[in-house]
Chain A
Amino acid sequence: MKKFDKERVLLAVAGPVIALAVAFVLSAIVLIASGKNPVEPFALMFEQAGFSDIQVLIVNQASMYYIAALAVAIGFRMNLFNIGVDGQYQLAAMMAAIVGAHANLPAALQIPLLLLTAALTGAFWSGIAGVLKITRGVSEVVATIMLNSIATAVIGYLWLPDVFGVKIGNNNTTGEMHESGWVPGIDMGAAGEIYGLVILAVVLGIGYWLVLNRTRFGFDLRASGASESAAAASGVSPKRMVLTAMLLSGGLAGLAGLPILLGDTHTYSLNFPTGIGFLGIGIALLGRNSPVGIAFAALLWAWLDKASPELDFHGYDKEIAVIMQGLIVLAVVVSYEAVREWGLRRQQRRVGAELAAGHVLGATDNTEKEVAGR
């Protein structure tokens, strides 16, 4: 039985490794095609990863990618594509910023209040898509994309000075949050500060694993993703599961912007990072929806982001990192499907071989005769 476990690990690692290798090679080809040295940019970027200040940046960035990717992954686990994480986290961060600027409770209450506000906002926003899906059969992909646009419009409205907006120079902000809602960072000396909410990302990752793999609810959710019909026959209410998964996904998505909001910017302004929700999709794919895999993928993405600006100083375009991210996503989709099918076939062959060799669990010649004799 251990053999099959090893097999699983092998399969789990083979997909991403192949994808990354392919992506590196293709990126190198792009570099050669544009007449550049195909190796130096990577060397430069690897070098960057060794600097402690870059490391802090990578970890901070990765924490947000991680939460966003978890939000996407929970949808993926039950065959829902929440492409609206982007709108959900931005709107949620803004609501948290607004509440943080207007409510002023002791930190022990204020921070949970802000987390709750963000989670509920995200859940509300994705919940709209969930309700549309179960009542009207609207595809969640379409609904969440639309909701992304609507979120942008709502954010623009909330930024109006006579709503919640505070103009600072040319910048739209929601005003500075009260300090009780600031989450202190982990001081790394000269390298900077790691956001306090990096801890939240870790906790969410553990929670994600626990809920999915160790609870009845998680089993139902995974079963729904693996086979909707089998799950329904097993007693899962498909509609309820769709709505629950959408709410959970949106709730998680709502938290994605908080590490930087509560740890650094303390206001929701035009400078607030956008697009994390979309990057989360690629990261969830690369991480195979597993909390550990997503962690590696988030760090990889953050590294490509934070190490690439250095390339500009050496005559390379930092966009090579973006190209690489795109290539990774492409390669991932192809290689995972190939590895998955290969793995299934391989296992079937092995099971066939083991059975032919007589390695049958618990079956002796006796039981065989007994059955045949009936």
Chain B
Amino acid sequence: MTAVELAGITKRFPGVVANHDIHLTVRKGTVHALVGENGAGKSTLMKILYGMQKPDEGTIAVDGGKVAFSSPADAIARGIGMVHQHFMLADNLTVLENVVLGSEKLHGIGAKARRRITEISERYGLGVRPDVLVEELGVAARQRVEILKVLYRGARTLILDEPTAVLVPQEVDALFDNLRELKSEGLSVIFISHKLGEVLSVADEITVIRRGTTVGTAVPAGTTPRQLAELMVGSELPTPETAESTVTDRAVLTVDTLRLAAPGGKALLDDISFTIHAGEVLGIAGVEGNGQTELVDALIGLRQADSGTIRFLDQDITALPTRKRREQGVGYIPEDRHRHGLLLEAPLWENRILGHVTEKPNSKGVWLDPKGSQEDTRRIVETYDVRTPGIDVTAASLSGGNQQKLIVGREMSHKPRFLIAAHPTRGVDVGAQAAIWDHIREARREGLAVLLISADLDELIGLSDTLRVIYDGKLVADADPAAVTPEELGSAMTGAASGHLEHEEPPADGDEPERTVPPAADGPDRTVPPAGGGPGAQEARGDGADAEDTPGHGVPGADRNPGDAGPDAEKTRGDAGPDADKIRGDGGSGAEDEAR
């Protein structure tokens, strides 16, 4: 039985990849994964299915009948619900209140609604308690509330937009268990992701989208991540791997016992100390909201530290204003480029000035130098392959990847000695991602010190020379990127592990989240993630039974020495992903947020 069928969907859309002749058939009682790189058109397609946008051509059929949605309300009425990537919950209301909000007519707002919520929660194993305030819930629990919200409204087909982006590996497993419950009850799930490992483990069918059109379908049993990845990108896969260490012993940035408190007195950052040397990339791993934003703000000068010092080269910059810091060579690729990196309605060449207005070629004395900055903008556009018809168009008319390339180009053009790179490749396409990684690597060779913050663990492990884990405002763990697995990082990201993360033989029962091992355990047989180099890796994954296995084990060819730049270094992102899904059943899944 077909739950949803999209046929020949075409959507012409300004500035970004349009949907073109997309075909998608979702059977009832299945999890259907929709994969594709950022910007491939997945979200647009789902917005069409959810009634947020109208297709220019093509038809949508639900349960065999043709439909035309003009708003999400229409879609909900036909049993299609969407769980957005960014949750839409009111923090200061209870779960019950959040769920009934806007659907008061269904079961009222009182006991009947509460009964219904408990019923749904039990039926699908969501573990949602109706009377808890949403602000007391962790990310994973909030997500389950969102799912419940959709189910409460009678959805039979759920769209989950990158649901795992905000979860640590252990929470991902719990989510997948929920999804399996849903499909066993006959519901359909459309699962949007670009993480192939997850897709292969949870999906029954996979549709791949590239450049706005469907390029293939697959079933997990008959495909490898590599094949999928190549379908997705359509070309050779880029890798974030850095070839050889360029770390020097010249300290560029030294942060000492930095502390930053919220107005209420709660420490947002506490006892943060680290040093970044010339030629070193220091990666910070952590679930979003654990102090990364505050750390970046403190380093760029948007917030003043309450105590502690920041030294840049030989100077104490703790009290320097943002502009002085930037003038002295601190580059900044902000986390949210729309809020902190661009003037969306200003032309590109004015955006080139932003942040560097006091520097050449943007100004001479107190006067702006529009000619100079325009010329340099043209250079950046060419060197950094920013796709634009000209430099007079507004930044808003570029796609996200091109906006990011412009920002990277701008920051790199001023020869920074220290670069803050917060999610430098978020939302950019593969080509741009590779180019941005390349630029960072190149500058690093020339002695640039980089603070890298990323939600993409593969990017972190691949680019960093040193890794730190931030949790609840503290740097709780450190790791050698050549010898740590995404799941070990994941443990530390939930606060379950701390200290120096070292790979270790897993305990027999396999569900011990603590992986703290003294450095003495250092041995030559450390496995190197995000490996999966050998063909065995592909066989192992997707097989839920061996979930206790940590990656590398039972994967021939995955062992290598740290820093080994052998053929394994050629491994691709696509290969790296699958390891992440093996942590499924790794124990402690979801335990953290239940406790909160």
Contact = CB atoms under 8 A, between A and B. Distances in A.
To the question of whether A and B form a pair in one complex, the answer is: yes
Interface of A: 1, 4-5, 213-220, 222-223, 226-227, 229-237, 344-345, 347-352, 354-355, 359-363, 367-368, 371-374
Interface string B360-378: 0001001110100000001
Interface string B240-267: 0000000000000000000000000000
Interface in B302-341: 302, 321-327, 332, 334, 339-341
B15 A348 contact: yes
Contact of B357 (A219, A233, A348, A355): A219
B434 interface: yes
A362 B381 contact: yes
A347 B393 contact: yes
Contacts of B431: 368, 371-372
Main secondary structure of the interface of A (DSSP, over half): helix
B388 A361 contact: yes
Q: Which 8 A-B pairs give the minimum distances between C-beta atoms?
A: A235-B323, A362-B382, A348-B14, A354-B389, A234-B355, A233-B340, A351-B397, A348-B397
A368 to B, nearest CB: 8
Contacts of B344: 226-227
A368 B397 CA distance: 20
B387 A355 contact: yes
B350 A219 contact: yes
A373 B237 CA distance: 8
Given A4-B393, A352-B13, 8 more contacts: A1-B389, A230-B354, A232-B322, A237-B323, A351-B388, A359-B389, A371-B385, A371-B432
B569 interface: no
A336 B126 CA distance: 49
Interface string B254-293: 0000000000000000000000000000000000000000
Nearest to A362: B382
Given A215-B368, A223-B354, A235-B323, A361 B15 contact: no
A227 B339 contact: yes
A355 B389 contact: yes
A292 B387 CA distance: 34
Contacts of B300: 233
B340 A214 contact: no
A236 B15 CA distance: 30
Nearest to A367: B385
A374 B238 contact: yes
B68 interface: no
Interface in B435-460: 435, 438
A233 B389 contact: no
B390 interface: yes
B368 A235 contact: no
Given A229-B339, A229-B340, A219 B236 contact: no
Interface of B: 13-16, 235-236, 238, 300-302, 321-327, 332, 334, 339-346, 350, 353-358, 363, 366-368, 370, 378, 381-382, 385-394, 396-398, 431-432, 434-435, 438
7 contacts: A216-B358, A235-B355, A351-B389, A361-B386, A361-B391, A371-B431, A374-B434
A214 B394 CA distance: 19
Contacts of A223: 343, 346, 354, 357
B396 A348 contact: yes
Nearest to B388: A361
A374 B367 contact: no
A51 B214 CA distance: 71
Contacts of A352: 13-16, 397
Contacts of A1: 389-392
Nearest to A363: B385
A76 B382 CA distance: 35
Contact of A234 (B357, B392, B398): B357
Given A1-B392, A223-B343, A214 B368 contact: yes
Interface centre among B302, B324, B356 (most CB of A within 10 A): B302
B493 to A, nearest CB: 26
A37 to B, nearest CB: 44
Contact of B354 (A234, A345, A361): A234
Contacts of A348: 14-15, 396-397
Interface centre among A226, A345, A351, A367 (most CB of B within 10 A): A351
A366 B64 CA distance: 47
Contact of B15 (A215, A232, A235, A351): A351
